[in-house]
Chains A and B, each alone.
Chain A
């Protein structure tokens, strides 16, 4: 059973508007969340993260919101640019002994239309 779910396989947004990508999780032990961006023929690159002690983290045009009670996080991109077109993966981790592993969602393909 998937512990991290991205229910929207794709999203199209007009340039300059807001992109909102969503992610749900089921494991209440997850305490650290990350977003990765992936372009074709490249590996995923780290975008932004948030600890469970926060409900918001902002970095330039990118903001991640965490709602622990709903087990939901979202990534907001404002304003969206054509270069933001990529697959976005949500990932979550929990501390298990000395180890931390990432559990990934299935990804959302964002297309920003000029």
Chain B
């Protein structure tokens, strides 16, 4: 079984809709991250969390919110989706003893 899972894997939605992307991990890591990837660009950090009570904004947090429901779960919400939020979204986890991050398979989001 995959260590980091993301649901859904694909989602098509309309402008103005609120949607949630979910991430679960079985690695037992405290640290979790949400990134987006646009064509021709690297991964950009949206939000990160170092434990259940610690949530931090990344470089592109506008238009997004997150919830850390438990050590193993970290959800990303788009409050009112817009077309330029069409992208690949990746969740990742890391162990504080290491800088290596482990990624989920990604969610392809299309906002029409």
Interface residues of A, Cβ cutoff 8 Å to B: 4, 6, 9, 32, 34, 36, 41-46, 49, 89, 91, 93, 98-107
Contact with A along B39-52 (1 / 0, CB 8 A): 01111110010100
**Residue of B at shortest CB range from A6?**
B42
Nearest Cβ distance between residue A79 and chain B, in whole angstroms? 26
Chain A hits for B90, CB < 8 A: 43-44
Report yes or no: A44 in contact with B43, Cβ–Cβ below 8 A: yes
Chain B hits for A43, CB < 8 A: 4, 90, 92, 103-106
Contact with A along B20-61 (1 / 0, CB 8 A): 000000000000000000001111110010100000101000
7 contacts between A and B (CB under 8 A): A9-B40, A41-B106, A43-B92, A43-B105, A46-B101, A101-B58, A104-B43
Given A34-B99, A42-B106, A49-B100, do A101 and B45 touch, yes or no (CB 8 Å)?
yes
Report yes or no: B56 in contact with A46, Cβ–Cβ below 8 A: no
Report yes or no: A104 in contact with B42, Cβ–Cβ below 8 A: yes
Report yes or no: B99 in contact with A107, Cβ–Cβ below 8 A: no
Count class of interface residues, chain B: 20 to 34
Contact with A along B79-99 (1 / 0, CB 8 A): 000000000001010000001
Pick the contact of B100 from A9, A34, A41, A103 — CB < 8 Å?
A34
**Residue of B at shortest CB range from A106?**
B42
**Residue of B at shortest CB range from A43?**
B103
In Å, the complex CA distance between A89 and B42 comes to 7
Chain B hits for A36, CB < 8 A: 103
**Residue of A at shortest CB range from B108?**
A41
**Residue of A at shortest CB range from B2?**
A43
**Residue of A at shortest CB range from B88?**
A43
5 more CB-based (< 8 A) A-B contacts, given A44-B103, A46-B100, A93-B99: A6-B42, A34-B100, A43-B106, A45-B103, A106-B40
Nearest Cβ distance between residue A52 and chain B, in whole angstroms? 12
B64 interface residue (CB < 8 Å to A): no
